[in-house]
Amino acid sequence: MYILSNILVQIVGIAVAISVHEFGHAYSAHLLGDDTAKMYGRMTLNPAKHLDIMGLIAMLIVHIGWAKPVPVNPNNFKNYKVGNVIVSLAGVTANIIISIICVIIKKHVNMYAITEITSAIIIYNVSFAAFNLLPIPPLDGWGVISSFIPYKYNEIAYKYESMSSIIFLVLIITGAYSIFISPIINVIWDILYLFM
């Protein structure tokens, strides 16, 4: 019974992390003038619309994973670079905001079930935010960095993007991603500690 309830709690944490992250991308793009995600039904908090099976499995096993990328057309933004950076960071920002809300709830509501659920939501949102900040295509960290790459280096950037799947697999399989992600997680936790 404990195992089943624990799995359900983990699923809630994952569902919240995925939903708010992708909704953050879609809604920020909408506010900036791009309704591509909205047209594809991705401007929603429904996790089923954003679920990626491999990303879900990775999140259950190592607490790090990904969802289906929200379709965005930066050409619809008034300022391509600024819009791209804002949308790239919107998902991570949404994860951190939800984590802060859960920290506050956990602090003031002394119930076992609430503590378990909010703890799972915090863990997965922090992990999801940190992982997505890695500068690897198609993650958000790359979305930010690529916005500032000079045009003359586009060919190099394209080659790097074409190798992203291999880089992804190597980092996940070897666990090397933890070397890069740990400092990011520590920074996010430092932010959360301000509300504890």
Nearest to 128 by CA among 25, 12, 36, 20: 20
**Could you report how far apart the first and last alpha carbons of the chain are, in Å?**
31
User: Mean of the per-residue pLDDT values for the chain?
Assistant: 90
Contact 9, 118 (CB under 8 A): no
Total domains in the chain come to 1
List alpha helices for 32-163, DSSP H.
36-39, 53-62, 80-108, 112-132, 140-146, 154-162
Note the pLDDT of residue 104: 97
Is 60's pLDDT higher than 80? no
pLDDT digits (tens, 9 = 90+) for 28-51: 999 999 999 999 999 999 999 998
Answer yes or no: are the C-beta atoms of 58 and 106 closer than 8 Å.
no
pLDDT for 160 equals: 85
Would residue 22 show up in a list of annotated catalytic residues for this protein?
Answer: yes
- Indicate whether 6 pLDDT > 90: no
Read off the tokens for 51.
């679920």
Structure tokens belonging to residue 54: 């491999």
For 16, the domain range is: 2-193
Which pLDDT tens digit goes with each residue over 73-110? Answer: 989 999 989 999 999 999 999 999 999 999 999 999 99
pLDDT at 56: 81
Q: Is the confidence at residue 172, as pLDDT, over 90?
A: no
- The answer to whether residues 116 and 109 touch, using CB atoms and an 8 Å cutoff, is no
Average confidence (pLDDT) over 162-185: 86
Query: Of the listed 22, 116, 155, 161, which one is catalytic?
Result: 22
